[in-house]
Amino acid sequence: MKKSILLVGCGGIGTEVIKKLSGDKSISVDQVLVRAESRIVKISDQMHQKVITSVNSLSHRPDFVLECASHKAVADFGPYFLERGIDFGIVSVGALSDPLLYQKLQSASEKGNSKLFIIPGAIGGIDLLSAAGVDNLEEVSYSARKPPLSWLGTPAEEIIDLKNILEAKTIYEGDAREAAMLYPKNANVTATIALAGLGFDQTRVKLVADPNITKNIHHIEANGSFGEFKITVKGNTLKSNPKTSSLTAYSAVRAINNRIKSTSI
């Protein structure tokens, strides 16, 4: 019997997840939860999932829920499903920069005996960073370099003319907590790194708009008693959403496969 997956949100990431899992005989992405009624017609015309705007309209209990919408979606739906014993995966990891929400999700998980899955997204080396934190992890820094138009709709627009810059410009330098809050659609990797390493307040972040690149470039540096490492990922963006690396969608697919098929490779 196929396992049922509910998607919360169905933009570029959700659409890609559905496509990648469409031929899987053990998994069915059969329900999509969106906020706006207008989204129902658009999604229904393109795909075959049941599209709803309220948890009250669920046709059946899903085996796993994947959020790929927003920080608000994590806050609105994460506790609901976790309390009911349904594992919940999140792409919008930056939502966890809110300590109150983090505690609420943790409490809901304990109450429902369920698990919150953090989707690593477009960066690698998270297992390495977590291992380094076992003994005296001293410094962790992360930089994200993206094409200027990837930063449209963010505070970067107030700093520079994103459509006309000719050279790379730093749009943010600070800690991971502030970066995740200010750039919720762009800095989810920031939150993942913070959670795996030194935390939101100790992880240093630099965000750059660069007109001379076409890929999203993520770079982590860490050092401590283990030694040191540097990891760089140059990821292609989703055609439907230049803010998001295609690896984010692939990471979500892997998380679903791992949860449903109980693999750890």
Give me the active site residues, please.
218
CA dist., res. 165 & res. 162, Å (int): 6
Which of these, 259, 159, 252, 257, lies nearest to 208 by C-alpha position?
159
